[in-house]
Amino acid sequence: MDNRTLIAASALVAAFTGQVGACPLVDCLPGLSEPQFQSREDMLGLYDLKQPGQAAMHVGLIAADLRIARLETENRALRIALATGTTPDDSSLRFYPSLNSFLDAMKSDLIQTDTTGRMPQLRHFEQRVRNADTRAKIADASRALVIESAQIAAAANANKQAN
C-alpha cells in the first residue's frame, strides 16, 4: 500500500469520526481524486479495491457510517430525555465497535488490498456496525416504550382521580 492511500484513508477516518475538520479530497490530496469510477458497481463498493482511491474512499465511507450511526443513537437518547425531562441514557452506544477496532481493521486491510483487492476485516467491521445499530435501535425503542407506557398509566391514573 502506498503512503498516499494510507494518508488519505487516515484523513478520511479522522474527518468522518469527528476527530478533525474535514478537508475536501480534491484540495488535500488531489492525486487521489483523479481516477473516476468505471461503473456503478465500483462506486457502490463491491470490494474490488486495488485502486488506491477506491480503497481510501471505501475506508472513509465505513468511517462515515460508524459516525452517523453513533450520532443517530445519541440523538435518540437526547429526544427521549427531552420528552421525559430525564438525563440522556446513551448506554446504547456500548453496542458499537470502538474506533480502535476500526483502525486495526483498516490497517490490516490496507496492507492486503494491493494483492487481493479485498478488505475482509472492514467488511466484517461494517457488518458489526449494522448489527450494533439494530441492537441500539431496539434498546432505545424499548426504553421509549417503557417511558411512554408509564406516562400513559400516570395520565390514566390522574384522570381516574379527577373523576
pLDDT digits (tens, 9 = 90+) for 73-92: 999 999 988 888 888 999 99
What range defines the domain where residue 13 resides? 3-162
Tens digits of per-residue pLDDT, 95-153?
999 999 999 988 888 888 877 778 888 888 999 999 999 999 999 999 888 888 888 88
d(Cα 8, Cα 52) in Å, to the nearest integer?
9
Of 42, 58, 49, nearest in space to 114 by CA: 49
Contact 97, 133 (CB under 8 A): no
> In total, how many domains does the chain have?
1
Contact 58, 119 (CB under 8 A): yes
As a whole number, the mean pLDDT across the chain is 80
